[in-house]
Amino acid sequence: MLKSGRLNFLKLNINSRLLYSTNPQLAKKVIGIDLGTTNSAVAYIRDSNDKKSATIIENDEGQRTTPSIVAFDVKSSPQNKDQMKTLVGMAAKRQNAINSENTFFATKRLIGRAFNDKEVQRDMAVMPYKIVKCESNGQAYLSTSNGLIQSPSQIASILLKYLKQTSEEYLGEKVNLAVITVPAYFNDSQRQATKDAGKLAGLNVLRVINEPTAAALSFGIDDKRNNGLIAVYDLGGGTFDISILDIEDGVFEVRATNGDTHLGGEDFDNVIVNYIIDTFIHENPEITREEITKNRETMQRLKDVSERAKIDLSHVKKTFIELPFVYKSKHLRVPMTEEELDNMTLSLINRTIPPVKQALKDADIEPEDIDEVILVGGMTRMPKIRSVVKDLFGKSPNSSVNPDETVALGAAIQGGILSGEIKNFLLLDVTPLTLGIETFGGAFSPLIPRNTTVPVKKQRYLVLVLMGKRVLISKFFRVKEG
C-alpha cells in the first residue's frame, strides 16, 4: 500500500500517427525501400498509359535486389580510419571471404538492440566481425579491425544511401522522400533506429510500415477482386512475421500480427555450418572445432557455401558442399539432401507455428477462414516451409507473389498513397505489442493492448504520491505477451 502523501492526478493521452494520409504537396517521387536482413530492394510508382503501378528499380549491376552488406577497405586509408573506402551490395559480398572482419552483413538483427540482449550475445558467437558495447547507450555497435566504431544505423545508412543514389540515377531526378519497411514485431527502439538510418542517408522517412502489411498492399492493390482475409507469412533473412489482414474495396485492415525478430535464413545457415564442421572434424579428427571456429576466413567461406547449399536445395533433391583448402591443406566435400536439411532445421521451422496460431486466435478466426496465403521472404522458397504453411492453413499458398520484391513494391504503393499518386485506398495497421508505462515501484501499467487498430487515443488517470519531491513518469514501454 502507498504511504500517505499529497495526491495528484495525471491525465495521460496517447495518440498514434496516422498510417494513411494524402498530401498533394508531396510532388516529388516517394521511393519504397525494403531494408532486408539479407537483401534490400527499392521501388517507385510508375505512370504508364494513365495507370499507376509499383516498379522495382534495378541497381547499377542490373539486379533487382541488393545484398544488405557493407564493407570497409582498411588498407585504403591506414592513417585515417574515417576516410576508408566503403563497398556496398555485391561489391562488398564478393570480397567477404578475404575481408570478413570488416564486412558487415545481417546487421538488421542488431539494429536498436542492447548489447546484453541474449540474441546479440548469440550472434557474437557466429559473426566474423566484432560486436562491441556502446558505453553511452548500452547498445550493440560494430567495430572494424582498425577500430572504427559504427552503429547498426550507420551501417544501414550506407546501404540506404546507395539505394537512394541508385534511384536518382534510374529516375533522373533527386530523391529524398521514402517509405521504409520493418518487421511487424520490431519495437520502438528498432523502428526509431531504422528512421535514424534513413535520416543519415539524406532521406525524409515519411513512414515506417510493417513488412507483411506492405506485402498485402502489393498483392491487393492491382486487383480489387483480391478481397477477403489474407495471411502474410514472412520469413526472411533474419526475422519472421505473420499478419492477418482483411481487404475489402480498397481498405486494408490488419486484424492481428505476431512474429519473432530473431528467426530467419541466418539461423538456417548457421545450422548448416555446424553440420559441415561436425562432418569435417569427424573425417579429420586431428583438427579441433575451436581451430575452425576461431578462423574468421574459414568460417565466412563455410557460411557462403552453406547459404548456396540451402538455396540449391530449394529446387534440387541433393547437392554437394565443396570447398578446396577449407582449412590448411584439407578439402571439403559434404553431400546434403533436401530431407537432411529439413530434418536439421525442423526446430527452426516449427518456431513459426506458435506465432501463426496466436495471430489467428487474436484475429478470432480459424485457418479455414483465410482466403489467401501470401509467402514473403527468400526462406519461403524452401519446399518444407511451403509444406508446413499448407498444413497450417489447409490450402496451398498463392504463388503469384515474388517473395523478394513484394515488400518493396508495397512500400512504394504506401508512398504513392501518401503523395496522392494513388487514391481510394486506406491502410489501417495495428500496434504489434502492448503499450504502457512504468508506474510506482517499477510496475507496468498497460494502456493499449497489442493488435489495437491505429490511430488510437487512450486516457488513464494515475495517482501520484508526492513526498515533497518532484515526480515525473518518463518511461514508456512496449511489451511482448505470451
- Annotated active-site positions, please? 34, 108, 211, 234
Phi, psi of 78 (to 5 degrees): -65, -25
Rg (CA), the chain: 24
Bridge partners of 46? 53
d(CA 139, CA 121): 12
Compute the Cα dihedral for 89, 200, 408, 210 and give only its sign. positive
Written as nine digits, the cell of 300 is 565466412
The H or E element containing residue 266 is: helix 265-283
Q: Are strands 69-73 and 103-105 parallel, antiparallel or unpaired?
A: antiparallel
Whether a cis peptide bond, with omega within 30° of 0, leads into 397 is no
The answer to whether the beta carbons of residues 190 and 111 sit under 8 Å apart is yes
227-266 b/e (C-beta count within 10 Å ≥ 16 → b): bebbbbbbbbbbbbbbbbbbbeeebbbbbbbbbbbbbbbb
The answer to whether the beta carbons of residues 310 and 341 sit under 8 Å apart is yes
Length of the chain measured in residues: 482
Q: Which of 107, 62, 105 minimizes the C-alpha distance to 87? A: 105
The answer to whether the beta carbons of residues 34 and 408 sit under 8 Å apart is yes
d(CA 17, CA 32): 19
Whether a cis peptide bond, with omega within 30° of 0, leads into 367 is no
Strands (E), 114-160: 130-133, 140-143, 149-150
Q: Which of 219, 198, 222 minimizes the C-alpha distance to 208? A: 198
